Structure 1
Amino acid sequence: MNIDFTGKIALVTGSNAGIGRGIAIALAAHGAKVGVNCLRNVAQGEETVAAIRDAGGEAVLVQADVTDPAQIERLVDEVERALGGTVDILVNNAGHMIRRLPNSEMTEEHYAQVMDVNLKSTVFLCKRVIGGMKAKGAGRIINMSSVAAQNGGGPGASIYAASKAAVSAYSKGLAKELAASGITVNIVSPGFIGSTMFHATFTSDAARQATIGGIPLQREGTPEDVAGAVLYLASDLAAYVTGETLEINGGMMMR
């Protein structure tokens, strides 16, 4: 069975670079029309769109802050208007640790920022696309968690880990809620993925090498590794899969 998203509209949040870009390009390569989203770096978002178009695909870039429900409404409205239909595949990839912060220094502002970008964005994007999916009797929602949800994360990342664990629990509840409507909801949980701003910002080279040394497959992951999992969950190959988590971590965390 081939993976074919011809005629489908996909929206991938935080897809200007890194994992999100890899997912957007992969979906487009299999026929989807893709809504690309960025918060600030419009130039990177345009690079993602250009890569899709250069390969013969169709994409549109919409700059929006996915922690703001009003901007979420505008984001989905613009993507659906530009691509000519309602969203069939939603990938909630946007997320951030903001910064490493010990709990002894925790502030309400930091707590809110982390929870908003990881959990609130996921909840309200799901809410926005559910109506269109229900009308079609079909849809695929893929939410991004993290290995941190299983192991608590690295130093100063406990709230980030908690927010990703919340994404996982929310997704399972949503999967039950939407199953009768033909909509599946699944979770992708990346481990140590290189070529991303996350580790360029938050992980030292020494910590990077130590982590790779502890991965059974002896390498860091790539955005394409994560994109492969998304392709599976978004396709008919996963028609009988919902509420599940795919751990993409090279064996560093096995369940």
Structure 2
Amino acid sequence: MGDDMAGDGLAVVSGGGTGIGRAIAARLAGEGRRVVTVGRRAAVLEQAREEIEREAGPGRIVPVAADLTDPAAVAAAADRIAGLGPVDALVNNAGAIVTPPEDDSLAALARSWRHDLDVNLLTAVLLTTALQGALRRPGGRLVVISSAAAQRGGAGPHSAGSYAAAKAALHGWAFGLARQLGPDGITVNVLAPGYIEETEIFGAGWSEEFHARKVADTLVGRAGTPADVADAVAYLVSPACGYVTGQVIGVNGGAVLGR
């Protein structure tokens, strides 16, 4: 996407089969882009493709199944993506909160943290590094999806803490990328969503009390939606966003004030 182009280029969205990633893919496809959705579950990606293309039209979604914690799988996926043309926008959305350690041992804690760092941090680092040479110069857009937990800290002693730490690590990494890629005309920004309903993280199993507490924590009196995040991404990957880079932007209804 050069600065003179509309939204008709190639975008890559990791974790694009469900929740926030699916909403981002749908939004960008609706703007006329081709969107590569990357995720571990081929069947989930295919279902999302069928649903999105009912609205956006055929040929807009290219599902690529890959485990983004596996360097060999990332390299293979990147080769396939690079063959589709220059990448105008890369949205690193893949990530999850993992289960707590299986026991109280340090070994179990180490396994839990390493897994969470792999899923929430290494996935973005590997995919971005593999595709860095394919980013359009000038005009490429790179967006990293973080979390308000990176700014507030995790709520639990184990897995939530590692999730917050992994997401916070994305910020420093993205700042370095912004410095590195800025001279090439590529912007790098971080989005930090707060409480977003209709996602696998905040899905079934959470109590009404939990929901009410999260909503009360906002200034606007409602939960966020995947579409709220997708709207922000659509701006950050647009030609209009050429002078915004190296920023952390909260999408949290005011639950975390600007910092």
Q: Same fold (TM over 0.5)?
A: yes
Q: Mapping of 1:184-203 within 5 angstroms? A: 184-200=187-203, 203=206
Give the TM-score taking structure 1 as reference length. Answer: 0.91
Conservation of the 8 A alpha-carbon contact between 1:193 and 1:220: yes
Question: How much does 1:155 deviate?
Answer: 1.9
Q: Assess if the C-alpha contact under 8 Å between 2:39 and 2:68 holds in 1.
A: no
1:116 — aligned with what?
118
Alignment of 1:38-117 (within 5 A): 38-40=39-41, 42-55=42-55, 56=57, 58-81=60-83, 84-100=84-100, 107-117=109-119
Task: From the superposition, tell whether residues 111 and 202 of structure 1 become closer, same or farther in structure 2 (CA, over 3 Å).
Answer: farther
Matching residue's letter, 1:85: G
Whole-Å separation in 2 of the counterparts to 1:247 and 1:102: 33
AA partner of residue 108 (structure 1): A
Matched letter for residue 161 of structure 2: S
Match of 2:163 in 1: 160
Identity %, equivalent residues: 37
- Residue by residue over 1:108-153, the C-alpha shift from the partner in whole angstroms, topping out at 9 and shown as x without a partner, is 111111101111111111111111226x333111001100001102
SS of alignment partner, residue 199 of structure 1: coil
Establish whether residue 244 from structure 1 lines up as the match of residue 247 from structure 2. Answer: yes
Q: Distance in 2 between matches of 1:16 and 1:64?
A: 12
Alignment check: 8 A CA contact 1:100 1:155 kept: no
CA distance in 2, matches of 1:129, 1:45: 20
Tell me, what secondary structure is at the counterpart of 2:187?
strand
Q: Is the 8 A contact 1:102 1:155 kept in 2?
A: no
Q: Once the two structures are superposed, what CA deviation does each residue of 1:11-31 show, in whole Å capped at 9, x if it has no partner? A: 100111100000000011111
Deviating above 3 A after TM superposition, structure 1's stretches of 4 or more consecutive aligned residues are: 100-106, 201-205
Tell me, yes or no, if the aligned pair for 1:88 and 1:139 is still in contact at 8 Å. yes
Amino acid at match of 2:134: G
Q: Given residue 79 of structure 1, which amino acid in structure 2 is its aligned partner?
A: I
CA RMSD of aligned residues (A): 2.2
In structure 2, how many angstroms separate the alpha carbons of the residues matched to 1:188 and 1:225? Answer: 11
Deviation per CA, 1:173-202: give whole Å up to 9, x if none: 110011001111100100000001101267
Deviation at 1:47, TM superposition (A): 2.2
Structure number with the higher helix fraction is 1
Q: How does 1:141-160 map to 2 (within 5 A)?
A: 141-156=142-157, 157-160=160-163
The Cα of 1:99 is off from its aligned counterpart by 2.1
Q: Tell me by how many angstroms 1:73 deviates.
A: 1.3
Give the distance between the partners of 2:103 and 2:89, measured in 1 at CA.
Answer: 36
Specify every segment of 5 or more residues in structure 1 that has no aligned partner in the other structure, as ranges. Answer: none
Q: TM-score, normalised by structure 2?
A: 0.90
Q: Distance in 2 between matches of 1:75 and 1:107?
A: 31
Residues 155-234 of structure 1 mapped to structure 2, 5 A cutoff:
155-156=156-157, 157-200=160-203, 203-234=206-237
Aligned to 1:10: 11
Number of aligned positions between the proteins: 250
Per-residue deviation at 1:102?
A: 11
CA distance change for structure 1 residues 16 and 181 in 2, over 3 Å: closer, same or farther?
A: same
Query: How many Å separate the matches in 2 of 1:62 and 1:158?
Result: 31
In 2, are the aligned partners of 1:99 and 1:202 still within 8 Å (CA)?
Answer: no
Gap change, CA 1:199 and 1:93, over 3 Å in 2: same
Gaps of 5+ in 2: none
C-alpha contact (below 8 Å) 2:14/2:39 kept by paired residues: yes
Deviation at 1:3, TM superposition (A): 8.9
